[in-house]
Amino acid sequence: MKTPCISRIGAGAIGLALLAAATGCATTSEGDGARAAAEEAIRSARSVGADQWTHTDMVLAEESQRIGNHDLAKERADTAREKTLALKNVPGLSSRLSVVESTASTALSAAQRAEAKADRAEANSLQALEQARQAELRAKEAKEAAERVPPAPTPAVRERDLPAPAPPGSSSSSKVPGTVGPVQESALRDAFFDYDSSAVRAGARDALLTNAQWLKANPDVPVTIEGHCDERGSTEYNLALGFRRARAAQEVLVAAGVAPERIAIISYGKERPFAQGHDESAWRWNRRAHFVAGSAPGPRISSAR
């Protein structure tokens, strides 16, 4: 007896399900239709230039469409289209806006060109500054390198290049062209030096040892050793150099057995050149330790430093 009731309940449930499905389908259809209508309204508004003329309304329409409020999106798109058409119908407004747009475009282009020009000028300025800095560094390095390089020495005068000295006791008065006195003034021989040097070279040592033999053979004769230089260099420098040359000659005599108290030394620097001239032919005669036998030294010009 309950079977008919169950059947009626089942039939009712099926009916409700069919009704709900139909309603859902209708709702879905309505939503799809609203979305399509809103999209069409947005396209229509864009076609008349609403993006440019009523930009704010178009932004609102697109945002409403994105969140699913299609009716509001369509309403705002329609409003944007109507406003755009109305603005375009205002006499002269369109042309004025075109002029403004053209002017703005021209100004933008000019600003971009000016910016590019400023960038190039800045780059050129930086490049010029870097080149100037590099040139300054190169000049500084060249100056420092030049200061480190010593002046080129005058070729050394070899002993064999000089005339043979007169033998001890000779009264020869032969002269070298341009000189103010004879090559040899006594039995003692001069010792010659290289440019800017007080080192005793081989030929000068031979002359000094010969002088030592003569002095030991004449033990009562005192001797003064004069240090001389050529004309190059300052007076003060050459006085010191002349003293070093005289001292070097004295040390060789003492080492050879000559009593140091018999020897006086003095420097004349470049003040008393033996040969007059301004080249090596004269300078080589003036770089010397000169010996004056039996002479007490005059006023001292230089002393050891």
User: Which letter does DSSP use for residue 48 in this model?
Assistant: T
Higher pLDDT among residues 74 and 6, named by residue: 74
Contacting residues for 51 by C-beta, under 8 A, at least 6 apart: 58
Expressed as residue numbers, the domain containing 24 is 17-88
Q: Among residues 88, 116, 134, which one ends one of the domains?
A: 88
Query: Which residues, listed in sequence order, are joined to residue 264 by a DSSP beta bridge?
Result: 224
Q: Which of 240, 242, 239 is nearest to 228 (CA)?
A: 242
206 lies in a domain? yes
Indicate yes or no: pTM above 0.75. Answer: no
Q: Specify the CATH number for the domain of residue 222.
A: 3.30.1330.60
What amino acid is encoded at 164 in this protein?
A
Contacting residues for 282 by C-beta, under 8 A, at least 6 apart: 178, 230, 273, 275, 276
Q: Among residues 41, 62, 88, which one ends one of the domains?
A: 88
Write out the H or E segment, with its range, that includes residue 83.
helix 70-88
Q: For residue range 142-176, list pLDDT tens digits in order.
A: 888 767 655 544 444 343 444 444 333 333 333 33
The C-alpha atoms of residue 55 and residue 52 are separated, in whole angstroms, by: 6
Per-residue confidence (pLDDT) for residue 69, from 0 to 100? 92
Q: Among residues 33, 68, 88, which one ends one of the domains?
A: 88
Q: What are phi and psi of 119, to 5 degrees?
A: -65, -45
Q: Is the pLDDT of residue 199 over 90?
A: yes
Q: For residue range 2-41, list pLDDT tens digits in order.
A: 455 445 556 666 666 665 555 555 567 777 899 999 999 9
Is residue 13 packed enough to be buried (19+ CB in 10 Å), middle (13-18) or exposed (0-12)? exposed
Higher pLDDT among residues 190 and 54, named by residue: 190
121 lies in a domain? no
Per-residue confidence (pLDDT) for residue 299, from 0 to 100? 45
Q: Which two tokens stand for residue 180?
A: 């103010």
98 lies in a domain? no
Q: Is the pLDDT of residue 88 over 60?
A: yes
Q: Which residue has the tokens 């396209």?
A: 43
